[in-house]
Structure 1
Amino acid sequence: MNTRDAAQQFADTWQHAWTHHDPDTIATLYTDDAQHTSAPFRPPHQGKQAITDYIRWSFSTETNPHVHFGTPLVDGDQAAIEYHVTAHENGEPVTLAGCVFIYFNQDGLAVKTRDYWHTG
């Protein structure tokens, strides 16, 4: 799979699965030994199961998410995708804006991802 197609699939799948709180579908985007860093000072999540557990945990206090992923910017085997989410967390409205950086393998699966985000 070419990187542009993989990146668009990544964005589309995350957008739909986040909206429906479906971490198992999101997990299909990653290799078994993928690494994900969710914030600069947190240790990375190593492996598909750890990534899935993190996503499940992050969805646990969130309700009614409205999720939008932008058009991926692609270079070689890498992509960057901005995203914007409005939801309620612990009953309070929250807005999250961020960007995910993805490295893909030749099969179009994510081997390494890093998010930078801010809530307000």
Structure 2
Amino acid sequence: MTVQEWVDAYARAWRDRDPDGAAALFTEDSVYRDHPLQEPHTGADGVRAYWANVTSTQDRVDVRMGRPVESPDGRRAAVEFWVRMLSDGAEVTLVGILFLRFADDGRCAELRETWIFDPGDHAPHDGWGT
């Protein structure tokens, strides 16, 4: 699996609110940090449980992923995301970056994300994601 294929599958899992699809993208010993000051979600089961919980309040999810920036060996990447959705019935925009480290088989071994969550429906600005 290439980095771009992984990013596309991640976006699809988010759009579809598919915890099993998300979990399949991670190794059994992966570390998923959705917040730098909280404990990570570990392994595919941890990712599945996190996604089942966090996506349960989301609706009309519009996920846009930027073009990934990859290390020369393809083992590390960073990619922006811009998500417009309903969260608990309210329009919100979530903008952030995923920092990724991949295993030899193309699944993610480590994910760290940083993001900002803002009320309202905000379109990406010109040049975003390139």
Give the alignment's TM-score, normalised by structure 1: 0.92
| Unpaired segments ≥5 residues, structure 2 | 119-130
Pairwise CA distance, 1:33: 0.8
Q: Percent identity?
A: 32
1:1-120 matched pairs, under 5 angstroms: 5=2, 7-75=3-71, 76=73, 77-120=75-118
Pairwise CA distance, 1:118: 0.7
> Which whole-Å deviations, capped at 9, do the CAs of 1:45-104 have from their partners, x for residues lacking one?
111101110011110111110001111100131000110100011111000001111111
Which runs of 4 or more aligned residues in structure 1 lie more than 6 Å from their structure 2 counterparts after TM superposition? Answer: none
| Unpaired segments ≥5 residues, structure 1 | none
Separation (CA, whole Å) in 2 of partners of 1:103 and 1:96? 22
Pairwise CA distance, 1:23: 1.4
Pairwise CA distance, 1:14: 1.3
Contact 2:22 2:47 in 1 (8 A): no
> Which whole-Å deviations, capped at 9, do the CAs of 1:1-42 have from their partners, x for residues lacking one?
5xxx2x111210011111111111111111111010001111
Separation (CA, whole Å) in 2 of partners of 1:15 and 1:51? 15
RMSD: 1.0
When the two structures are aligned, how many residues end up with a matched partner?
A: 116
